[in-house]
Chains A and B, each alone.
Chain A
């Protein structure tokens, strides 16, 4: 484990030394924070609470899916991985250290965004903090694993950029990260349940708006856990150290197994009436309005009414 922590620590240090990495790690997420909270939510505390889940999902998609995968492809293309290949470390050592490093870079930004939302926009922080941390963490790890699988089956940076952009924009618009789920046509709402960021958006939004916890959103958490395990389990065997080592068709087909848990979870959630009932406010505009009003009322009541015993 010592070598994994060492690789993680070095990677974290290097990220802070590279200006462009700092831009994508910090500046861009903060820019999106002000766009989402300041413009979309217009600074309204409850509206801000509503957009925080999608905002974090956006960070997860860009740093987890795109950032991590592109880093590996870039290192392979520049023959940097080759030097590590000569050392007595495994592909899993490299993957785990990269995942942890990117997670340690991503998490403080999310915490900072939440702190800023509370301080600047007086966002109410309802729901289970542990649940929010769990959902955001699993979401990151799940998307990171998918990014590593893409890196394993892609040969060049150009290919990686093309594939990642397709996945990025698909997830951006189909998961509630930008366009609210309630605004999507019914068939796209069903499709969205097959994508990991949707599970993260649903769970985090309902936790914050509905003051809910892990118990009410165990299906999403299970889905994210399964997605992470499958993607990590495939990322190691698909990992390539050398740029000359081309991807076999067999390995590309093997990568599709990462979709298996997403298919299972997506079908299950689409058929689960309990899940539909619990998360109805996110899929139906009228129910969303009612839920938002209820959340606003609860929040106002907690602030204005005197506490018992005074």
Chain B
């Protein structure tokens, strides 16, 4: 396996006036990896991706894509990459096959048109004008434009924002198929489940700062969160009492109501301990819900903020 990373970013910075949108971000993406930048709107994900693509000039730092500088070697880099923007605008009266055929001529080794249409599921829509496509179909066209050059590195900026769950799942399957063909993928998202499902590596981004980079499971494991138990009791109970229970490492309460979130290595152990305590104290366990820690918990722990869903 080639040791040179597909994408390497060192101390990347970007300012928009007084706003420091990207603050000294560094990471590298090995080949054939799906790397996810996870963060809410305004975290700096798009700015980072656009600088790597060569659409924006960085204010500091260094970027290499397949060993090339995306500013100095722009045309060479663009032959190697494909990119799906957050929103893709094309001429209203251009047909799907026309735009893919046109963009195919820009590349040295384009993907055959029929294969591309088949891959993204647009064979039936090949002769339709762009303006008459649905939102999901337009995203597929955008993805097809990103794939038309048979890229070594693919950039997907919030590829499933605004799409329904069914189409999102289909696109996820497509992205995994693309990775299986050997393409390196940098994906930005604010959907936790998308990052958990697709990404080999996840970078937690908040307010222009990269807090951690690891495989999702490792990030969760390193958090030490274990399981999460959400309970509703008949009567309130002091948080100190809950944290003193066997197996409970942390307890939080919702707005003064007798609803609590307990964290610990084992949900079963916490539930058993709570049930015994409640019975002895004359209290009653009304509701219990077990959940494993997710990247959202990781994000909250690392940044002190919740990810806002669009």
Do chains A and B interact in one complex? yes
Chain B residues near A87 (CB, 8 Å)?
Answer: 78, 103, 106-107, 149
> A79-B89, A82-B55, A86-B55 given as contacts; is B106 within 8 A of A10 (CB)?
no
**Complex: how many Å from CA A79 to CA B88?**
8
Considering only residues 72-114 of chain A, those with a C-beta below 8 Å from chain B are 78-80, 82-83, 85-90
**Complex: how many Å from CA A87 to CA B98?**
16
**Complex: how many Å from CA A78 to CA B107?**
24
Chain B residues near A82 (CB, 8 Å)?
Answer: 55, 85, 89
Chain A residues near B93 (CB, 8 Å)?
Answer: 14, 17-18
Considering only residues 1-16 of chain A, those with a C-beta below 8 Å from chain B are 2-3, 6-7, 10, 13-14
Chain B residues near A14 (CB, 8 Å)?
Answer: 91, 93-94
**Complex: how many Å from CA A85 to CA B71?**
12
**Complex: how many Å from CA A297 to CA B49?**
72
A83 touches B107 (CB 8 A): no
Q: Interface readout for B98-113 with A: 1 if CB under 8 Å, 0 if not?
A: 1001110111000000
**Complex: how many Å from CA A235 to CA B103?**
23
Q: Give the size range of A's interface with the partner.
A: 20 to 34
B91 touches A3 (CB 8 A): no
Closest to B87 in A: A79
A262, chain B: closest CB distance, angstroms? 33
A80 touches B91 (CB 8 A): yes
B257, chain A: closest CB distance, angstroms? 46
A242 touches B106 (CB 8 A): no
Chain A residues near B89 (CB, 8 Å)?
Answer: 78-80, 82-83
B175, chain A: closest CB distance, angstroms? 18
**Complex: how many Å from CA A91 to CA B93?**
23
Interface of B with A (CB < 8 Å)?
A: 53, 55, 75-76, 78-79, 83, 85, 87-94, 98, 101-103, 105-107, 145, 149
Interface of A with B (CB < 8 Å)?
A: 2-3, 6-7, 10, 13-14, 17-18, 78-80, 82-83, 85-90, 241-242
A and B contact pairs by CB, cutoff 8 A, 17 listed: A3-B105, A3-B106, A6-B105, A7-B102, A10-B98, A17-B93, A82-B55, A82-B89, A83-B85, A85-B55, A86-B78, A87-B78, A87-B103, A87-B106, A87-B107, A90-B75, A241-B55
